[in-house]
Amino acid sequence: MRIETARLLLRPFVLQDLPEMTALLADPGFMAWSVAGPVGAAAARRKLEGEITSFESLGFSKLAMSLRDDPRLIGYCGLGLEVIEGRRLTELGYRLSPAHRGCGLATEAARAVIDDAFGRLALPELHAYAEPGNAPSHRVIARLGMTYLRDIRLHDRRWRLYRLRRPD
């Protein structure tokens, strides 16, 4: 499975992505809004293996993101499961290298993932959350047409929770 957009290629992660994934997850700029902050090689391997396992078992995960004309990883975008207020929700998440931010790539990738979620996966709804101060993420969420639900506590932090329902 691969998803192509005008500028991007999204695909499931493979073990060969480990060196690039390790470099991204160790970058403080890439991990600026992460609960974990920058992580080392062992945590990067666990993250990568978790995404591979998720795709194999659920049919979705965060997907490796690269430019169509350059195979190097610039981030990821995709789906995951998150327990929020006792409910298991399908969450849309994305993270881009600082060099690739500000030009609409996160929105482009997220729209493609949403189309796949509501098409191939036939999911009824998706959720996203972002910390109140993460203005770039809130702009992406707004461009996607997601609806603000409420503020929540998760991972010992405050987040804004959003939802997008599949069109009828």
Distance, CA of 127 to CA of 116 (rounded, Å):
15
> Which H or E run contains 163?
strand 157-165
Domain that holds residue 71: 3-165
Predicted pLDDT at 133: 95
CA 124 remoteness from chain centre: 18
State how many domains the chain has: 1
88 neighbors 81 (Cβ within 8 angstroms): yes
Closest C-alpha among 136, 127, 130, 138 to residue 162:
127
Q: What is the pLDDT of residues 95-142, one digit of tens each?
A: 999 999 999 999 999 999 999 999 999 999 999 999 999 999 999 999
Predicted pLDDT at 168: 82
Distance, CA of 156 to CA of 164 (rounded, Å):
24
The CATH number assigned to the domain holding 142 equals: 3.40.630.30
pLDDT class of 69 with cuts at 50, 70, 90:
very high
pTM over cut 0.85 = yes
Predicted pLDDT at 36: 87
CB-based burial of residue 83 (10 Å sphere; 0-12 exposed, 13-18 middle, 19+ buried)? exposed
What are the phi and psi torsion angles at 79 (to 5°)?
-115, 155
Q: What is the pLDDT of residues 70-97, one digit of tens each?
A: 999 999 999 999 999 999 999 999 999 9
Distance, CA of 44 to CA of 141 (rounded, Å):
26
